[in-house]
Amino acid sequence: MSGRQGAVLRPMGEHAVLLELASLDEVLRVHRALDESRPRGLVDLVPAAATVLAVSGPDGPALAAIGSWLLTTAEQVLAAHAEAPPVASDDDVVIPVRYDGQDLDDTAELLGLGVDALVALHTSSVWTVGFSGFAPGFGYLVTDHERLVVPRLRVPRTVVPAGSVALAGAFSGVYPRASPGGWRLIGTTDAVLWDAAAERPALLAPGLRVRFEAVAG
C-alpha cells in the first residue's frame, strides 16, 4: 500500500508493519513524529536507512490501525517539508575523542585535508543518530554535508578495539565493543556506548544529536 507522498507499507508477519521511505533524511523526520505519537501497546519502533518498522504486541493495535497511523503521519510530515534535523534537547550527547586512530593520516589524505582540518571538521559537524545496527549500541551517525564521505577499507580488520571512532561512506560511528570492521579509524573514546544494566542501555539512540569533542591523549 502506498501513500500520496511515496511512502509504502509492507506487512511483516502477524504483528508488524514496515514503512518504506525514500531516504534516511525522510526516516529521521518521520521517525521523530512517530515516536512522539506512538499508540499504546506498540512494542517497538525501529528506524533503518530507508524504513521504519512498527511492532505491535499481542494486546496492541491491529495491523490496519498501525498501517493507517504510519501512512498518515508520514504524509503529514513529508507534506510539511520539514527539512531541519531533530532539534537540540537535553538528551544531546557529547563524545570526547582522542584523535589518534590508525587511519587518521590516510583518511585526511584521501579527503584532501590536513589532519588538523579533518579533526576540526569532524568536531564542528553536528551529527544525528540515523539508526542503530551491526552491534548493540552502534549508532550510524549522519550530518548535513558530504565533506567527510570516504569508502570503507578494502580489507576489513579482524578486530577493531572498543571505543574506536570511525568513518565509512556518509557515516561516522563508535565501536561499542571489540569486533571485526572495515571502517576507517580516526580516534578513540572512553565513552560507554552500551550498558545493558542502565535504564537506557544505548548511549546513542535514533534521533539524538551528537557532537565530538577533541581531547588530549
Q: Could you give the domains of the chain?
A: 8-79 (3.30.1360.40), 93-214 (2.40.100.10)
Query: What 3-state DSSP class applies to 170?
Result: coil
Q: Could you read off the pLDDT of 118-163 as tens digits, one per residue?
A: 999 999 999 999 998 888 999 999 998 889 999 999 999 999 999 9
CA dihedral 38, 43, 48, 52 (to 10 degrees): -50
C-alpha cell read off for 92: 544531546
Ranges in the chain, pLDDT < 50: 2, 4, 82, 84-88
Q: Give pTM, 2 decimals.
A: 0.73
